[in-house]
Amino acid sequence: MLNFVKGAIIGIALVIPGLSGSIFAVVVGLYDRLLNAVNHFRDDPKKNMRFLTPIALGAVIGILLSTKAVLVVTTRWPLPSYGFFIGLVLGIGPFIYRKLTTKKFSWWYLLLVVFGFVAIYGLAKLGGTDPENLIAIKRLTSVSDAGVMAFAGVFAVSLMAIPGISGSVMLMVIDQYGTVYNAVGQLGDAARAAASGNWPAFQTAMGSVALLLPFMIGAAAGLIAVAKLMAYLLAHFEAQVYYAVCGIVLAAVVILIEAGIAPYWPATGHLGAIAMVVISLVIGVLATIFLDKPDADGKK
Q: Note the pTM of the prediction, 2 decimals.
A: 0.76
3-state helix, strand, coil in the chain (%, to 5): 80, 0, 20
Extents of the domains making up the chain:
2-291
Q: What is the pLDDT of residue 297?
A: 45
Q: What is the pLDDT of residue 155?
A: 84
Query: Among 37, 119, 17, 126, which Cα is nearest to 78's?
Result: 17
DSSP assignment of 192-255: HHHHHT-HHHHHHHHHHHTTHHHHHHHHHHHHHHHHHHHHHHHHH-HHHHHHHHHHHHHHHHHH
Q: What is the pLDDT of residue 296?
A: 40
Q: What is the pLDDT of residue 110?
A: 94
Q: Is the dihedral of CA 199, 204, 205, 209 positive or negative?
A: positive
289: number of Cβ within 10 Å: 17
Residues 229, 95 contacting (CB under 8 angstroms): no
| Phi, psi angles (nearest 5°) of residue 62 | -60, -40
Q: What is the pLDDT of residue 144?
A: 84
Residues 144, 137 contacting (CB under 8 angstroms): no
Query: Among 133, 168, 138, 131, which Cα is nearest to 152's?
Result: 168
What is the pLDDT tens value at each position of the chain, 300 positions in all? 788 988 998 888 888 766 778 878 887 788 888 989 988 888 999 999 999 999 999 998 888 888 778 778 888 898 999 899 889 888 888 888 888 887 888 899 999 999 999 988 887 777 554 544 455 567 777 788 888 889 888 888 887 787 777 787 778 767 787 788 888 878 878 888 888 888 888 888 888 888 888 999 998 888 888 888 888 888 888 888 889 989 988 988 888 888 788 888 887 668 888 899 999 999 989 988 877 655 444 444
Residues 210, 145 contacting (CB under 8 angstroms): no
Amino acid at 288: T
The alpha-carbon radius of gyration of the chain (Å, integer) is: 19
